[in-house]
Amino acid sequence: MGDGRTVGEGFDLAAADYDELLRHNRDGAARLVAALPDGTYDDVLDVGCGTGFVTERMVERFGTRRVTGVDPSGGMLDVFRDKLAGLPVEATLVQGGVHDMDVPEGAFDAVVSGMAFHWFPDKPAAVASMARRLQPGGVLAILASGRGTDEEFRRVLEGVRPPVPPAWISVFDDIHRDSEELAGYMEDAGLEVVDAWDERRVRHQPPDAYLARIAAVASHLSADLEPAEAAAHGERVAAAVAAAAGPRGFRYSFVKLFGVGRRPA
């Protein structure tokens, strides 16, 4: 997926506009938190916390009192920090990734992760890392982009000539998983699977709005290209998406992947 700009640095560029461009993620966060078993979740670890969508819902539903947010993007943490002034929660924000996060093990009632898991480089190890942070009886809840997301865009990219960079196409298989795979990762990490499922939506957006969302979450894939080369590829992709759009805009699929597991008491 390129070794120039990191995923976190890419999200730094999108931080100010993330809440607007990715507003559907707020709905997904609410759906994830609604799926948690009833209980007391005073201490929560939010991994890949971004601008805090999942934490907001945890405070709303469970009255979470303390949250530790971890994210590699300083820009996203800055947006989250501004929101915290209006939330009745004690918060610690840590810049880092899931595989090396400086947070204690066995310390949290819940570990949550909203729309970040698909970018974690080693997914089984990421689930194991999050599971280790749970107290006995604690709950892990994951929301991610699932297999089949943006499949229409992938077909558009495959038809662009000259070809787009291979990483722009291979990324779909690199990042996406399905509910059976996620359930397996949780079981391998020693968790009891409460539920794991996929929800598929078909949406339409104006081509420019659709491509703005793609740019917000995947700009790091262009980091190794010369600016002129990246711009030329972008122009051809934009033209191809516009050509594929219909009266209602560009039609695309979005699959949300959910998983909820519990550490045995």
Q: What CATH number does the domain containing 27 carry?
A: 3.40.50.150
Pick from 18-27, 176-185, 213-222: least confident: 18-27
- Residues 105, 133: contact at Cβ < 8 Å? yes
Which residue type is seen at 227?
Answer: P
Q: How confident is the model at residue 167 (pLDDT cuts 50, 70, 90)?
A: very high
246 forms bridges with which residues in the sheet?
249
Q: Which residue carries 């779909």 as its tokens?
A: 172
Mean pLDDT (the chain) is 91
Separation of alpha carbons 42 and 59, rounded Å: 9
Specify if 97 maps to a domain.
yes
- Residues 155, 240: contact at Cβ < 8 Å? no
Three-state SS at 49: coil
255 forms bridges with which residues in the sheet?
200
Specify if 2 maps to a domain.
no
The model's pTM is 0.91
Q: How confident is the model at residue 218 (pLDDT cuts 50, 70, 90)?
A: confident
Separation of alpha carbons 43 and 89, rounded Å: 10
**Residues composing the chain:** 265
- Residues 42, 65: contact at Cβ < 8 Å? yes
Specify if 208 maps to a domain.
yes
Specify if 1 maps to a domain.
no
Specify if 72 maps to a domain.
yes
Helix/strand/coil (H/E/C) assignment for every residue in 136-185: EEEEEEEEEECCCCCHHHHHHHHHCCCCCCHHHHHHHHHHCCCHHHHHHH
- What is the domain extent for residue 230? 7-262
Total tally of structural domains belonging to the chain: 1
- Calculate what percentage of the chain has a pLDDT beyond 90: 83
Which residue would you say has higher pLDDT here, 75 or 250?
250
What pLDDT score does 219 carry?
83
pLDDT tens digits, 51-72: 899 999 999 999 999 999 999 9
Separation of alpha carbons 12 and 91, rounded Å: 21
DSSP run (H or E) holding 199: strand 192-205
